[in-house]
Structure 1
């Protein structure tokens, strides 16, 4: 679909091979092909360097996933003319439930004729499958009328060396295949209709990949000679589930209609975006900021009308060479305030490379959440105190958003008090952008060290009495003073490996060199105890 979308947009001819490529790791691979490119022997997921060696005149363009998703969404709206139950199946498929709708177009054949004619008018090719179940329709659309592909596993007869083919007669059990399914077809190989109640017969000649199985499962089945769906149907279900997983049997049941697979129509989510087409290409940071000042007020108005606030904001810059570059920022709290969105976008405008110039800018609220106004009740002083607290939290959220634009919101964390008496669980780490700061921390029964680490064994005696000297990390320390003990018992309702040494007696120890350690003696339990160091005071 990606290749045909670009060919249609640029009004390019299909006489030359064309492909859409995307970055994958350290190389570029083909994500979409034109019909001419397929005829030249190219295939999906093929490295670009191999494709260029096979087809030197290949024309390529970079993939634009956002544009492809929008194009698929547009096709979904077009397909709603046939049925209100239309769902998207990214990256290039639509699923339509025609129950009770086919007679409006003259039956199932009439639906296929209308779909093909509309796609022809749009300059798109289409493969259609129509059956009682979603899985069967998926299989017919992709594999009906196609040759039975043989996996290159080394086990097939046609993969043997010439000197060993004389033994092929003895190994006919490896040779699977047969003629392509002869189903009722409409206008060539593009339309495939399975008669009502004949889903099993329609699926039988197709390869096992038509059941939407994972690649390694298809390869394993091919090694065993199970290459068609009818071969899989003849096997015991228990053995298939035990060897290849329950998913294999479940996919077969879905295709045959034994397991339900309803079609959920895509819900039209609230969409907030605005676009600015420029009369001349731009590339300077000042021009981008000026364009941003025109887009943000329009977006803010739409958000305020619906009571929504932005959580993630994306700026898409479309260049004159039909490529696009985008940048995305996140806010710690949903907001429709321009003063909070503009600095985040402005700080990342330097990442946009104008290349030959930018002629279209698009601002999209990629993620939104409802926002509610704060209602203050009580006397004036209380209202002012609440307003000051809200303003303070807003400043903290702005700081989190600014730091998140540089290092990512996921890298920012904050501590929250934990509901446990165990020292390691006294504080829980949570994402700063998706949590609310806790204003009132409960005071611990005793002082806690600033630096915590996993318990480290000390070299000293094994008695419960506090030692006068101990060796830790290769250094000998002498005890000057100590406070304790503070006895902490493990959570008996949880079997934690770290607390299998039993009850602990914690001590705050000051050495003669001025170091302050947090030591404890484990009385022993499932494993032996002893003296350990778990933290240091500042």
Structure 2
């Protein structure tokens, strides 16, 4: 059985080199990435030019500006750096199938049984170093029998002084002053940018000897533990290894012995690779470029069954499908559609793509078509409803509605198709919520309202002029017109939600009336009793077509002018704008 071998690659300048790669050229001027650490702006990554001037990671931005006024800086983007590290991890997968990220700036590979494919361990590390140098990346690598030993060699070995960390100031660790020793230990607790060889290989079974001269910080211990060990004169791993094991956990916790055993191979530390993302795609290459819409449709008809078969094999359904047309001139035309419900059926995806195929410009011809399910969801099994004395029947699903939502979303945008859901609030304007239809499910049952009628259309309250007091006015003036009340129903008092600070409810509790004027117009009026701001009367809603016709005169259903109240929302005016 092959001996376990672990390779750890450390990218000490990952932050600055990611930015330089994005800009497309190296900057000769001193450059650094600035991040927030405990409320202070510090340097988290510096380029070699800045390091040559005495700048280092962890240094305050003000101190760095004082040393180098011409320092060029950018703010740290942790998400972008994590995504860049993920790209590097996937790229390093060609050397080993067992690759894991060592956040925030390292990658760990299990090379057991893999090194001979690249000419040995030294040749493999040299190839990795050459390819990273070609990409503009600085690295340090360590290869040993255990992940802990490889991590220590990558970040702390080969720095001179018996493997100790480099000194950034004139503090001498041998001085007797306690404060000076503590300050020096804190500065030496973490690794610094490399100045020595790019890789260190520990022969099989020699991890203990290789780790002995390294500082105790190489065991991945916390800064407080490293500082506490330094006060006792324990600065190297070999000094720590000879101490009585029973006393260390009592003083510094169990992690000290655990890290020591992991580095020496006495405790197994697994390398857990990232789970491979699900990938569903199919492509079709043509011997000659195509340019007719019918040819593109025929290609899609050949690709979709392959894609849907892959989805069905993993019990996944596509929510977003992307079609790429690679033209002969190198351009790529993209058509992307979204589905209201995850599906692995050709019949659900094909009509949506057909709406987008006309937007593809074939140019001088299309060499290849590629279709991919960029967003998928697990498909739920069909649910059955069964009761005593009844046959089992599947729970109905409104597939036709989902297809309509998908087609409308393809033409108008997924966020343009919405549906209403009830919300828990007595305030009329907050008794409902608007959700994207493609990302929400129907309520499945009638709304359980408050049992009282509500306006069909909610309007912004507009003040009215009338008699003062919480009584329905016999007449009032609104929008430079006099109105005469024929029937008033109410009041219904609604108090503001005290746990929410909403400006429109600062006028205090409201008394609502349903009003019908002499000409048949139906309005909702409320009287605010006053709170943080003064109250008064306002128009809240309207139920008759005369007011609504100002916004739209299409598809209006006339309401009878009798005094009979409508029984449901379907009896009111139907409006489309």
Q: Which position in structure 1 is the counterpart of 2:348?
A: 340
Q: Which position in structure 1 is the counterpart of 2:205?
A: none
Q: What is the correspondence of 1:47-62 to structure 2 with a 5 Å cutoff?
A: none
Q: Is it true that 1:364 corresponds to 2:376 in the alignment?
A: no
Q: Is it true that 1:85 corresponds to 2:100 in the alignment?
A: yes
Q: Which position in structure 1 is the counterpart of 2:507?
A: 501
Structure 2 unaligned segments of length 5 or more: list them. 1-20, 28-83, 142-150, 157-192, 200-212, 219-270, 545-577
Cα distance per residue 1:469-525 (max 9 Å; x no partner): 222223222212111111212223333332222221110111122211110111112
> For 1:531 and 1:491, how far apart are their aligned partners in 2?
20
> For 1:71 and 1:353, how far apart are their aligned partners in 2?
32
Structure 1 unaligned segments of length 5 or more: list them. 1-29, 40-67, 138-180, 188-194, 201-262
> For 2:515 and 2:367, how far apart are their aligned partners in 1?
68
Q: Is it true that 1:445 corresponds to 2:456 in the alignment?
A: no
Q: Which position in structure 2 is the counterpart of 1:528?
A: 534
> For 1:69 and 1:332, how far apart are their aligned partners in 2?
34
Q: Which position in structure 2 is the counterpart of 1:113?
A: 126
Q: What is the correspondence of 1:342-491 to structure 2 with a 5 Å cutoff?
A: 342-378=350-386, 389-390=396-397, 393-438=398-443, 439-491=445-497
The Cα shift of 1:69 comes to 13
> For 1:331 and 1:517, how far apart are their aligned partners in 2?
40
Q: Residues 96 and 111 of structure 2 are in contact (CA less than 8 Å); yes or no, is this contact kept in structure 1?
A: no
The Cα shift of 1:410 comes to 1.4
Secondary structure of 1:420's aligned partner: coil
The Cα shift of 1:528 comes to 1.6
> For 2:277 and 2:299, how far apart are their aligned partners in 1?
27
Distance of aligned partners of 1:266 and 1:319 in 2 relative to their CA distance in 1, 3 Å threshold: farther
Secondary structure of 2:324's aligned partner: strand
The Cα shift of 1:320 comes to 1.4
The Cα shift of 1:75 comes to 2.3
Q: Residues 129 and 198 of structure 2 are in contact (CA less than 8 Å); yes or no, is this contact kept in structure 1?
A: no
The Cα shift of 1:380 comes to 12
Distance of aligned partners of 1:87 and 1:286 in 2 relative to their CA distance in 1, 3 Å threshold: farther
Greater percentage in helix: 1
> For 1:349 and 1:197, how far apart are their aligned partners in 2?
63
Q: Residues 465 and 477 of structure 2 are in contact (CA less than 8 Å); yes or no, is this contact kept in structure 1?
A: yes
Distance of aligned partners of 1:490 and 1:264 in 2 relative to their CA distance in 1, 3 Å threshold: farther
The Cα shift of 1:71 comes to 9.0
Q: Is it true that 1:75 corresponds to 2:94 in the alignment?
A: no
Q: CA RMSD in A?
A: 4.5
> For 2:215 and 2:331, how far apart are their aligned partners in 1?
48
> For 2:392 and 2:277, how far apart are their aligned partners in 1?
38
The Cα shift of 1:529 comes to 1.2
Secondary structure of 2:364's aligned partner: coil
Question: Which of 107, 114, 123 is the equivalent residue of 1:96?
Answer: 107
The Cα shift of 1:378 comes to 3.0
> For 1:273 and 1:95, how far apart are their aligned partners in 2?
31
Cα distance per residue 1:251-288 (max 9 Å; x no partner): xxxxxxxxxxxx99543111111111111111111001
> For 1:334 and 1:117, how far apart are their aligned partners in 2?
45
Secondary structure of 1:397's aligned partner: helix
> For 1:288 and 1:87, how far apart are their aligned partners in 2?
45
TM-score, normalising length: structure 2: 0.54
Q: Is it true that 1:294 corresponds to 2:302 in the alignment?
A: yes
Distance of aligned partners of 1:275 and 1:107 in 2 relative to their CA distance in 1, 3 Å threshold: closer
Distance of aligned partners of 1:186 and 1:77 in 2 relative to their CA distance in 1, 3 Å threshold: closer
> For 1:310 and 1:96, how far apart are their aligned partners in 2?
32
Secondary structure of 1:509's aligned partner: strand
Secondary structure of 2:385's aligned partner: coil
The Cα shift of 1:182 comes to 8.4
Cα distance per residue 1:320-377 (max 9 Å; x no partner): 1222121110000000111110000011001111112111111101011111222323
Q: Residues 383 and 394 of structure 2 are in contact (CA less than 8 Å); yes or no, is this contact kept in structure 1?
A: no
Distance of aligned partners of 1:301 and 1:87 in 2 relative to their CA distance in 1, 3 Å threshold: farther
Q: Is it true that 1:518 corresponds to 2:529 in the alignment?
A: no
> For 2:389 and 2:455, how far apart are their aligned partners in 1?
38
Distance of aligned partners of 1:381 and 1:76 in 2 relative to their CA distance in 1, 3 Å threshold: farther
Q: Is it true that 1:129 corresponds to 2:134 in the alignment?
A: no
Q: Which position in structure 1 is the counterpart of 2:203?
A: none
Distance of aligned partners of 1:118 and 1:496 in 2 relative to their CA distance in 1, 3 Å threshold: closer
The Cα shift of 1:199 comes to 11
> For 1:513 and 1:469, how far apart are their aligned partners in 2?
13
Q: Residues 76 and 86 of structure 1 are in contact (CA less than 8 Å); yes or no, is this contact kept in structure 2?
A: no
> For 2:279 and 2:298, how far apart are their aligned partners in 1?
24
> For 1:73 and 1:352, how far apart are their aligned partners in 2?
35
> For 2:131 and 2:537, how far apart are their aligned partners in 1?
79
Number of residues of Structure 1 aligned to a counterpart in Structure 2? 362
> For 1:495 and 1:70, how far apart are their aligned partners in 2?
43
Q: Is it true that 1:284 corresponds to 2:292 in the alignment?
A: yes
Q: Which position in structure 1 is the counterpart of 2:335?
A: 327
> For 1:517 and 1:493, how far apart are their aligned partners in 2?
29
Q: Residues 72 and 88 of structure 1 are in contact (CA less than 8 Å); yes or no, is this contact kept in structure 2?
A: no
TM-score, normalising length: structure 1: 0.58
> For 1:531 and 1:419, how far apart are their aligned partners in 2?
26
Q: Which position in structure 1 is the counterpart of 2:243?
A: none
Q: What is the correspondence of 1:190-339 to structure 2 with a 5 Å cutoff?
A: 266-339=274-347
Distance of aligned partners of 1:502 and 1:396 in 2 relative to their CA distance in 1, 3 Å threshold: same
